[in-house]
Structure formats: C-alpha cells, structure tokens
C-alpha cells in the first residue's frame, strides 16, 4: 500500500483556471505538508496542517488554499493559475508536528503541474 498518495500525477491546464490536487496518507500521522519544487529542483514548504489545524503558512499567494477534511487528507486548491505556478507539488506527512521530537517526513510521488 502506498503510504502517501497524490492525485493527479500530472496536471496540464491553462492560465486563469482553478485546479485541485489531492493527498492522502495511510500512516496514521497527525501532520501533513505541501511543498513546491521549482524547475531548478529547489524545494520549499508552503503549508502544514496538524490534526486539521493550519500551523505553517509560508509566504504563498492567497490563490493557494489548503484544506484538510481530516488528518489523513490534505488537499491543495489553486485559483486563477499563472505560468509561474508550473512546478512539482509534493505532499508529505510526519508523525506529529514536532512537539514531542523531530520526526522524518514521508513524501508522496509528486504532482507535476504545467500551466500554459
């Protein structure tokens, strides 16, 4: 069974559209994350949720809105897509948010978003 899964794997869309990426983890973790990897492979955290509560919100345009319906799912909705949003988006999860120690994060396979 895949520990952290994302759908879709590839997403091609036009500027101005709205799209969503879904993420699910079956590890029983409390904390989930979204990362963006740009064309130079640089990875940066965007958001983190702990038990459905937003705990990390980096300087991301408010066109990006994460939603966590339960602690096993963290979705990313993007409004009014722009060319610069083209990237690979990774979901990750960890045992907890760090309150009891530093736990490694487990990453999904990524979603390659291409905006034309």
Question: What is the binding site for another protein (CB under 8 A)?
Answer: 4, 31, 40-45, 48, 50, 55-56, 90, 92, 94, 96-99, 101-110
Q: CB of residue 89 vs another protein: minimum separation in angstroms?
A: 11
Q: CB of residue 79 vs another protein: minimum separation in angstroms?
A: 25
The residue among 81 and 108 lying less far from another protein, judged by its C-beta, is: 108
The residue among 48 and 68 lying less far from another protein, judged by its C-beta, is: 48
The residue among 15 and 43 lying less far from another protein, judged by its C-beta, is: 43
Residue 84: φ, ψ to 5°: -70, -10
Q: Residue 39 is encoded by which pair of tokens?
A: 């064309």
Residues contacting residue 29 through CB under 8 Å, at least 6 positions apart: 71, 93, 94, 95, 96, 106
Q: Are 20 and 13 in contact (CB under 8 A)?
A: no
Q: Residue 93 is encoded by which pair of tokens?
A: 């999860």
Q: CB of residue 45 vs another protein: minimum separation in angstroms?
A: 6
The residue among 48 and 75 lying less far from another protein, judged by its C-beta, is: 48
Q: CB of residue 12 vs another protein: minimum separation in angstroms?
A: 16
For 30, other C-beta atoms within 10 Å of its C-beta total 19
| Distance of alpha carbon 52 from the chain centroid | 14
């Amino acid at each position: 069974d895949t520990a952290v899964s994302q759908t879709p794997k590839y997403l091609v869309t036009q500027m101005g559209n709205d799209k969503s990426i879904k993420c699910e983890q079956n590890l029983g973790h409390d904390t989930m994350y979204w990362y963006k990897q740009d064309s130079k492979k640089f990875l940066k955290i965007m958001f983190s949720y702990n038990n459905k509560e937003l705990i990390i919100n980096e300087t991301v345009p408010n066109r990006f809105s994460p939603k966590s319906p339960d602690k096993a799912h963290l979705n990313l909705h993007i409004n009014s897509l722009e060319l610069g949003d083209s990237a690979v988006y990774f979901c990750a999860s960890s045992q907890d948010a760090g309150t009891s120690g530093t736990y490694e994060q487990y990453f999904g396979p990524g979603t390659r978003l291409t905006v034309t």
